[in-house]
Amino acid sequence: MPAGALTVVFGLAAAIAWGAGDFGGGIASRRVPVYGVVLVSQATGAVLCVALALLLGEAFPVGLDLVWCAIAGVLGAFGITMLYRGLAIGRMGIVAPVTGVLAAVIPVVAGFLTEGIPAPMVLIGIVLAVLAVILVSRVASETGGRAGLVEALTGGTAIGLFGVAIAQLNPGDIFADLGTIRIVQGLFVVIAVVATRSAWRPGNLLLPLILIGALDTAGNGFYLVAVQTGQLAIASVLSAMYPVVTVILAAVVLREPVTRDHTIGIGLAGAAIALIGFGGS
């Protein structure tokens, strides 16, 4: 399969995994402390990745790669904590898309600056993808609700920068890199819990939280493969369409309304995928 096609496939796989994981994380954060959700999910990811890295004989990062893993770990832990907190106190149909806009735009801009402007058809697809997420987020203005908006903005910025940081890693040794990032994220959450004396016990949701951690880890792995096989702008904008998955799940499971803007946004997302796929092949 051509590298460009791999970027599209793994970018979309990341969006599906992240969207499902964020939906589960938002639900769980309404029942148990946010720090408990993040801590268990990060610990799950760390165990899975370290075990796979050792099984495959991968080398753990050193030097500059280790620095980028540490930076990505801190950004990722802060971003996912803010996202889950926003999902817990606000509507998923508001928080997830606003976060997604920033998570898409920041790496796209970084990709343009470092790798140049992609082909015209791909560029149109990127624009449509960002518009799709913006349209889905317009439900905030229709309801007037602002709960979780600050968390969505700060979390989205951190997640966007996380996407830029993880793209700086040298290709190869995917699970060793992800395991290191997860360890840093877990340590960050532990320090935050101790410093703020916040509640963290996951209660009776341990198994669901482990599944959420596996989904989030899978999304990170898919994203890392996507950026290593193609352009950062393409990989990031495709994976950042995860709010579409979250919104669909929220509509089906929680009966949150699907507006006309949602429908148009989902349609634009489909068009964007097609344009990026054909234009990048």
Are the C-beta atoms of residues 115 and 233 closer than 8 Å to each other?
A: yes
**Stated pTM of the model:** 0.80
- pLDDT confidence of residue 140: 42
- DSSP 3-state of 138: coil
Indicate the pLDDT class of residue 55, thresholds 50, 70 and 90.
very high
What is the CB neighbour count within 10 angstroms for residue 210? Answer: 18
Tell me the residue type at 269: A
Q: What is the mean pLDDT of residues 3-19?
A: 86
State how far the alpha carbon of 144 is from the alpha carbons of 25, 35, 85, 255, in Å: 24, 28, 19, 19
Are the C-beta atoms of residues 59 and 176 closer than 8 Å to each other?
A: yes
Rounded Cα gap, residues 36 and 23, in angstroms: 16
Q: What is the mean pLDDT of residues 60-71?
A: 94
Residue-wise pLDDT tens digits, 252-281: 888 877 778 778 887 888 788 788 877 655
Residue-wise pLDDT tens digits, 36-49: 888 888 889 899 99
Burial code (b: 16+ CB inside 10 Å, e: under 16) for 226-239 equals bbbbbbbbbbbbbb
Rounded Cα gap, residues 183 and 181, in angstroms: 5
- pLDDT confidence of residue 14: 92
- pLDDT confidence of residue 104: 78
CA nearest to 72, candidates 185, 174, 218, 227: 185
- Strands, E, within 62-104: which ranges? none
Backbone angles phi, psi at 259, to 5 degrees: -85, 175
Are the C-beta atoms of residues 261 and 138 closer than 8 Å to each other?
A: yes
Are the C-beta atoms of residues 212 and 47 closer than 8 Å to each other?
A: no
Rounded Cα gap, residues 66 and 59, in angstroms: 11
* Helix ranges (DSSP H) in the chain: 3-29, 34-56, 63-89, 92-115, 120-137, 139-143, 149-166, 174-196, 206-229, 232-239, 242-253, 260-280
The H-or-E segment that residue 214 falls in is: helix 206-229
Q: First and final CA of the chain: distance in angstroms? A: 10
**Residues 6 or more apart whose Cβ sits within 8 Å of residue 62:** none
Q: What is the mean pLDDT of residues 87-112?
A: 78
Indicate the pLDDT class of residue 242, thresholds 50, 70 and 90.
confident
Residue-wise pLDDT tens digits, 127-162: 888 888 777 656 544 444 567 778 888 988 998 899
- pLDDT confidence of residue 10: 92
CA dihedral 106, 110, 113, 114 (to 10 degrees): -170
Are the C-beta atoms of residues 88 and 171 closer than 8 Å to each other?
A: no
Q: How far is CA 220 from the centre of its chain?
A: 7
